[in-house]
Amino acid sequence: MSRIAWDSPGDLGRHVPAQSSTLRPRPHDELREWGGSALVSGKRVLDLGCGDGRLALGVAALATKVDGIDPDPEAIAAARRNARKAGVRNVRFAAGAAQRLPYPDAAFDLVILSWTL
């Protein structure tokens, strides 16, 4: 059995192709189903399993800051490209696994998880 380095997400997850984002609800529609903008307004948000950043970028205008983490480095590269393209500056993306979050306790007010396997 191989060991995965603690600083590497290894094979814990793989990105679903970016086209799949077009099949998912728009972030504000999804947020409305969860209770509306008050859920994220003015908060520090972690998007766990963020993929290409669809939801993180969609709620960024409402949140104080958003971090997105996903085990697939290709998904993170796509999320960063999408953030640059959209001009969103309060979002950071990192490759990592939910099993080993690289954040201190109480770093976020809210964790969101959507369309994640």
Catalogue all structural domains in the chain, each as residue range(s) with its CATH number.
36-112 (3.40.50.150)
Q: With bands split at pLDDT 50, 70 and 90, how would you rate the model's confidence at 1?
A: very low
**25 burial type by CB count under 10 A (0-12 exposed, 13-18 middle, 19+ buried):** middle
State the pTM of this model. 0.76
Q: Which residue has the tokens 């590497």?
A: 8
pLDDT at residue 94 greater than cutoff 50: yes
Handedness of CA 21, 26, 27, 29 (dihedral sign): negative
Which phi-psi region, left, alpha or beta, contains residue 84 (left: φ > 0; alpha: ψ -120 to 50)? alpha
Q: Give the per-residue pLDDT at 14.
A: 52
39-59 tens-digit pLDDT: 889 999 999 999 999 999 999
Q: Which residue has the tokens 């080993």?
A: 100
